[in-house]
Amino acid sequence: MKSINPYNNETLTEYKPHTKEQVMINIDKAQKVFLAWRETTFAERSRLMTNASNVLKVNKRKYAEIISLEMGKVIKEAEAEVEKCAWVCEYYAEKAEGFLSDETLEMPENKEAKVVYDPLGIILAVMPWNFPFWQVFRFAAPNLMAGNVGILKHASNVPQCALAIEDVFREAGFPEGCFQSLLISSDLVEDIIKHKDVKAATLTGSENAGRIIASQAGDQLKKTVLELGGSDPFIVLKDADIETAAKTAAKSRMVNFGQSCIAAKRFIIEASVYDQFLQLFKKEIKGMKQGEQLDEDAQYACMARRDLAEELYSQVKKSIDMGAEVILEGEKPIKGSAFFKPYILGGISEDMPAYKEELFGPVAVMFKVDGEKEALRIANDTAFGLGASLWTKDKIKAEKMARKIESGAVYINQIVASSPYLPFGGVKNSGYGRELAEMGIKEFVNKKTVSIGE
Ligand code: NAP
């Protein structure tokens, strides 16, 4: 399994993948450690999770460089990602016990009953490369605090990140086997799901992988949480602060060089402010600095893999061939490279890939609409439903419109961003279940009813 720098295609390092036999041994180790880990107190788990937060803070630069060089994001973004991981560890170190404390139920006739939250066991996490630390920590922090243990099958292009994360937990003092990274291809995932001691699976990734893992887990009657793709709308009404909206829109489309599930992808703008918005938005995107990953001033470097740049370009090319207007001309990826230059497209019709598919990279799609009703129609006319950003100074109207948007979250006059404090997840083909906050820690626990007789 190779770790390749997508900026220059250099092999950084190479690992021998785990065999099926090794994977089964690792699962046995995880199960043994689970039986002891489930008995530990919240105070002990919290102490170790706080250590993990400190390990991340102390080694921020080291981990950020691994992330940047392995998947192409710029160092500033990678450092922010490591800091966010430290934050989620602290958050659950402090709050897990409260979230999982017994809940007394209101009962008739002086009867007594409560719900207690027991860990399930080994949870499999299948994770993507785009936020190679953050996606894993937002799974691992709540689950380890809940008393579960984790095994990670990370994306094949980020093995160094996978091993570095395992090291964070080791250095923090977690028992060996509490969190393990398996260097495997996706072919072995089904065998892991079938293992009797693996109790549930979570996947962050594409719709296709979601369907496969959900059906494999469904066959075994095991629970899944799926965090899949998105084609998030960014709606700007005529009474919004257009300047702030345009700047935020550019940031939202270009975060992680466009490779974010909650990046704004479709910009739905009321006609009377469309030209003003577009001019500001285009200027922001054009003004962003490209550079190498470790260049402190660079705002983007390259995409995470060559094939991803080529795939994105083919979606753009097909849309242009079908009549899309090129508002900002990007650049075709140079053969064999993960470079890409941002595009802005307009004049989109319903049959184009730019309308129907997720554009997982720096391509913005513009829609000019007559009013709120049309804005909502286009916003909801997608197979996805992850996040939405809505801009208007009328907060009462905004809240009413928010209720009509088919997505897991609506952010009013803000960029859509994940936070330990806010439940995160989608509807429709963006998946199901929630990560983060109190809801996130309650996904993989046995919510056990205890009814007490005389
Ligand atoms: P992907 O191809 O689905 O890969 C994600 C993970 O699933 C990787 O570990 C991959 O392993 C594994 N995988 C792929 N096919 C599999 C299969 N048949 N069986 C078992 N495992 C399989 O997704 P991606 O292209 O890397 O990531 C981008 C997608 O993730 C986008 O759609 C994006 O929107 C979504 N995403 C969603 C969220 C969210 O929170 N909703 C967050 C980030 C990203 P290999 O690398 O070995 O193939």
Tens of pLDDT, residue by residue over 160-201, are 999 999 999 999 999 999 999 999 999 999 999 999 999 999
Q: Is 371 a domain residue?
A: yes
Which residue range forms the structural domain that includes residue 260?
232-419
Which residue of 129, 186, 187, 315 sits with most ligand 1 atoms within 8 Å of its CB, as the best mutation to test the pocket? Answer: 186
Domain match, 269 and 288 both:
yes
Q: Is 175 a domain residue?
A: yes
Q: Is 87 a domain residue?
A: yes
pLDDT at 46 over 90: yes
Three-class SS of residue 65?
Answer: helix
Domain match, 217 and 258 both:
no
pLDDT digits (tens, 9 = 90+) for 74-92: 999 999 999 999 999 999 9
* Confidence band of 324 (pLDDT split at 50, 70, 90): very high
Domain match, 34 and 151 both:
yes
Residue in 85, 89, 161, 261 annotated catalytic: 261
Domain match, 311 and 371 both:
yes
Q: Rounded to the nearest 10 degrees, what angle do helices 60-71 and 75-99 cross at?
A: 120
Q: How far apart are CA 101 and CA 120, in angstroms?
A: 16
Q: Which of 164, 148, 154 is nearest to 204 (CA)?
A: 154
Distance 399 CA to ligand 1 centre (A): 33
Total domains, the chain: 2
Predicted TM-score of the model (pTM): 0.98
Note whether 47 and 87 are within 8 A (CB).
no
Q: How far apart are CA 124 and CA 158, in angstroms?
A: 17
Domain match, 245 and 372 both:
yes
Domain match, 159 and 17 both:
yes
Catalytic residue list contains 89: no
Three-class SS of residue 414?
Answer: coil
**Where do runs of H (alpha helix) occur along 175-287?**
189-194, 207-219, 242-254, 271-286
Q: Is 58 a domain residue?
A: yes
Chain position carrying tokens 């402090």: 94
Q: Is 424 a domain residue?
A: no
Mean predicted confidence (pLDDT) in 393-400: 98
* Alpha-carbon distances of 324 from 149, 288, 328, 413, rounded to whole Å: 49, 24, 12, 29
Distance 432 CA to ligand 1 centre (A): 15
CATH of the domain at 304: 3.40.309.10
Domain match, 290 and 157 both:
no
Domain match, 151 and 241 both:
no
Write phi, then psi, for 118 (nearest 5 degrees): -100, 145
Domain match, 240 and 220 both:
no
Residues with CB under 6 A from ligand 1: 126-130, 135, 153-156, 185-186, 189, 204-206, 209, 212-213, 227-230, 261, 358, 360, 386, 426, 430-431
CATH of the domain at 164: 3.40.605.10
pLDDT digits (tens, 9 = 90+) for 263-282: 999 999 999 999 999 999 99
Distance 388 CA to ligand 1 centre (A): 21
Q: With residue 346 as reference, give the H or E element that holds it.
A: strand 343-346
Note whether 262 and 416 are within 8 A (CB).
yes
Q: Mean pLDDT, the chain, as a whole number?
A: 97
Distance 452 CA to ligand 1 centre (A): 45
Domain match, 92 and 172 both:
yes
Domain match, 291 and 332 both:
yes
Pairing label, strands 179-182, 363-369: unpaired
Domain match, 208 and 333 both:
no
Percentage of the chain beyond pLDDT 70 is: 100
Q: Is 370 a domain residue?
A: yes
> Radius of gyration over alpha carbons of the chain, in Å?
23
